[in-house]
Structure 1
């Protein structure tokens, strides 16, 4: 006998078995008991919240020979025929694949014939928003004034795509996302009945990953049980099977953002991807962790609000001290925008890496929110200055730690004039002319992005060139030997030039110095600094 998936085997059979939609269920039970049944219903809500299940239960209940408190008995001939898909009185149609005018005309022709051995003929149209505009127009008259024995149940995940003419002809019911606690209880019930050994923490995590969808959560439990069929499913097993990431990784990421350690940030992302974790899920889990950080900063008692072990809860409270509320809200906003972009991107890793770099350095965000985050960072670092160090005379060291957070004065002196050896001057002119193309040609996209706002100037102490950038994040990336080696290889392959590169973090503008060759000294009469 073939295996039946858990979500099909455990589909709710009565209104009372539907979880998390109590107001809707109570309404339909009352309609069945009083006989005040409408002719057209619209069920809206995200996937797996019970729309189709309620539609099928309603289809049985309206024709049930022995209803029990509004529920179908599921034992009479009418109920059994619907359950085994042999009823001629319940017609299901998927509008995603049957969305033409001809499909609707077929329904319009069928409704003329009364039900066989039943009170009502029920049409369940799933994903109704997929119907074409012409199909909607053809459906309007039938939907508004069907025969008294016809009931239409329309289900959709996107009610905003339905014409107002359809919406106005239906009783609308919005199915809410099911709470994690309700899903966990249902999963525990299923696991107990199926003999699946699973840890409570793992069940709760599966329910949370299901994101309000009972069907998705039951499918995830089915997936975990298939992988761990011979022993108990622990929390770590659920993480590994579902491609999720342990909380400690998010704590490490928050610490790396606080230290502005781009190398550490990139290493964490690399490890996550190498372990086969899904980037979209990683982003959603990171948003949830930052949400928990906000709660830890705002609420004294986190019981019932944050689902964590005591050890992780202590770490969460420590991490919450690393950033202000403004900074954490900015993180949530940036990651939420990133999550939306991921759906249409083929370079998900690059998007994630560059977003995290911007999160670490709020000065790269010129919006008002970015400026507020930078001010919060300055205040936080000033507050962390060691007063005892000042009292003990270590003022220089203390100011040294704080200097990076004080805006630097930009001088507006006239450009300096510097003489260079002819060969170095020619190399400089070539690089300045081709710098943008060279940056694009670097094989690492992260390095290429870091080089975007940089420029080159000659190294006046040694042969070669200096890459100048004012971004600390970009400076850390470019300063890596691997990054400079990539750049050297691009220049050598393209221009047959062997040039050594060093890096400099500076606010100096690109045109603050004028360079000439030694040969020009005899031709012009200006003050020039010559190479020592």
Structure 2
């Protein structure tokens, strides 16, 4: 297996954890060795690998602190050294397992300088096991080192955390994973294009072990192509995700549902994974809309597309898209038909409107109704042009106020009350609003976008020119 073959044997080859390996190297070189360490981080970030390297280095190392390449190191790598003990707490989490560790810790090392205990997934230990472990962890026998590894440090009691030197292992950058995969492909003579390698690096989600395992699977293909890799991984090409996202943003229900059904029914993509991919895409668009320089896991061309898209869509909409998709992802645990769940999610996304958009719709509808009212038209038929404009404006204003006051939303009612108590006039293409008090002024200023969209756009559609709304 490629992962085992290319597993780092010295600190130098541990990828993406420079600060951690630097500190550990300095401790080994200077002899300032702690008795208990806690390695925290996501799966595949190098916790156990680093623990094994450290176990070798504290026993035999060169002047730089790196472990020596000798028989002892080879025995440790092979798992044949009796002084280096590994325990998987996920499956050995009882008090008897810990008592066995405590008993072994009482004996002096037989072939090493230090006896090292590496306990993986330590957060899985039972409460009784943790309590039994505390004393020996605080005051271990001489020449004993404990290295605890966990993906979930928040589940550990403070009594464990306070007794250990903590090292946080970060997610490995896409670029670092890509370079490592490139190195492996060159040495293994695996013919694969950079686009496919980049995809594997992204899908690995910061886990080097996952990336190399995927590469090991991919290399068995007769022909390695980008399309074949996406099929193997059960994911969609970013272009397909982008097309679905575009259709949702354009509120094209038919196109969105067609693309989704094609992906799931024809291309055999997993509906739940599609929801996650779609959520991730909207998340990337949002963060790039906030800061275009943000590093995201995608190719540069696609990043530019996301930046441009972020300029066209409301951030509030993007946040709602992400939240709603997360709700559906959570719901997917309790249903057998994720496609239906995804279709419902997309329809809800398309139908979603911000409160500002809802206000705008109300105002447009009311003003349109006012301008097409046959009674109003008859009443205005004998008036001159100025009177006709004023009549339409007065009716529009009253309809807007009445409709806002009937809204179930309190803050929309507040806008209606603010307009009702204000002096409103139309003169020289300007709508002038004089609020009754400072509180009304604040409410109307906060709702100025809605007022602009309602009054200005709708009145212009009725050939009444409005340059701006002036709140005094």
TM-score normalised by structure 2 residue count: 0.72
- Give 1:111 shift: 1.1
**Contact 1:326 / 1:376 at 8 angstroms: preserved in 2?**
no
The Cα offsets for residues 214-268 of structure 1, whole Å up to 9 and x where unpaired, read as: 111111111211224xx4x332232122111122322321332234333332222
What is the aligned partner in structure 1 of residue 275 from structure 2?
283
Larger CA deviation: 165-174 vs 235-244: 235-244
Separation in structure 1 between the aligned mates of residue 315 and residue 336 of structure 2, nearest angstrom = 32
Corresponding residue number in structure 1 for 2:234 = 243
For residues 402 and 256 of structure 2, the distance between their equivalents in structure 1, rounded to whole angstroms, comes to 27
Structure 1 residues 142 and 314: alpha-carbon distance in aligned structure 2, compared to 1, 3 A threshold: closer
Range moving further from structure 2, 288-297 or 37-46: 288-297
Q: 1:26 to 1:61 in 2, by over 3 A?
A: same
SS of match in other structure, 2:33: coil
Quickly say closer, same or farther: Cα 1:301–1:182, change in 2 above 3 A: closer
Which residue matches 2:67?
72
Which of 325, 331, 334 matches 1:335? 325
Deviation at 1:124, TM superposition (A): 0.6
The partner residue of 1:19 within 6, 15, 19 is 15
The count of aligned residue pairs is 371
Deviations 1:260-287 (A, max 9, x none): 3333322222222222223343233223
Change (3 A) 1:137 1:69: same
- Residue 86 and residue 268 in structure 1: after superposition, are their counterparts in 2 closer, same or farther (change >3 A)? same
Q: Relative to 1, partners in 2 of residues 1:300 and 1:111: Cα closer, same or farther, differing over 3 Å?
A: closer
- Aligned with residue 251 of structure 2, among 240, 247, 260: 260
TM-score, structure 1 normalization? 0.64
Flag the 1:187–1:109 CA change in 2: closer, same or farther, 3 A. same
Deviations 1:382-424 (A, max 9, x none): xxxxxxxxxxxxxxxxxxxxxxxx99969x9xxxxxxxxxxxx
TM-aligned CA deviation for residue 204 of structure 1 = 0.9
Unaligned runs of 5+ in 2: 366-399, 407-472
Q: Describe the SS at the equivalent of 2:212.
A: helix
After superposition, the C-alpha distances for 1:296-334 in whole angstroms (9 at most, x for unaligned) are 6556779x7674475x56755664455222212221232
Q: What displacement does 1:47 show?
A: 0.2
Partner of 2:46: 50
Question: Structure 1 84/23 Cα, relative in aligned 2: closer, same or farther at 3 Å?
Answer: same
Give the Cα separation in 2 of the matches to 1:236 and 1:224.
Answer: 12
Residue aligned with 1:37, SS:
coil
- Select the residue among 186, 190, 198 that pairs with 1:196: 190
Asked whether the equivalents of residues 120 and 149 of structure 1 are also in contact (C-alpha less than 8 Å), the reply is yes
User: Partners of 2:362 and 2:11 in 1: how far apart?
Assistant: 57
Deviation of the 1:344 alpha carbon: 5.3
Find the aligned partners of 2:364 and 2:259 in 1 and give their Cα distance.
25
- Residue in structure 1 matching 2:24, options 25, 28, 31: 28
**Pairwise CA distance, 1:351:** 2.5
Greater helix share, 1 or 2?
2
- Displacement, 1:374? 4.7
Q: Measure, in 2, the Cα distance between the counterparts of 1:380 and 1:409.
A: 11
- What is the deviation of 1:50? 0.2
Structure-2 separation of matches of 1:380 and 1:202: 50
Is contact 1:51–1:155 with CA below 8 Å preserved after alignment? yes
Cα distance in 1 for residues equivalent to 2:248 and 2:362:
15
1:324·1:376 contact (CA, 8 Å) conserved in 2? no
Deviation at 1:183, TM superposition (A): 0.6
Q: CA deviation at 1:371?
A: 2.7
Instruction: Give the whole-Å Cα distance in 1 for the aligned partners of 2:56 and 2:292.
Output: 50
Q: Please say which of residues 267-276 and 284-293 is displaced more in the overlay.
A: 284-293
Task: Report the Cα offset of residue 336 of structure 1.
Answer: 3.4
CA contact 2:51–2:118 (8 Å) conserved in 1: yes
Aligned-residue offset at 1:376: 8.5
Picking from 318, 325, 330, the partner of 2:315 is: 325
Once residues 94 and 332 of structure 2 are traced to their aligned partners in structure 1, the CA distance between those partners, rounded to angstroms, is: 32
What root-mean-square deviation, in Å, do the aligned CA atoms of Structure 1 and Structure 2 show? 3.0
User: Which structure 1 residue ranges, 4+ long, deviate > 4 Å from structure 2?
Assistant: 295-302, 312-322, 372-381, 406-410
Matched position secondary structure for 2:219: helix
Residue of structure 1 equivalent to 2:93: 99
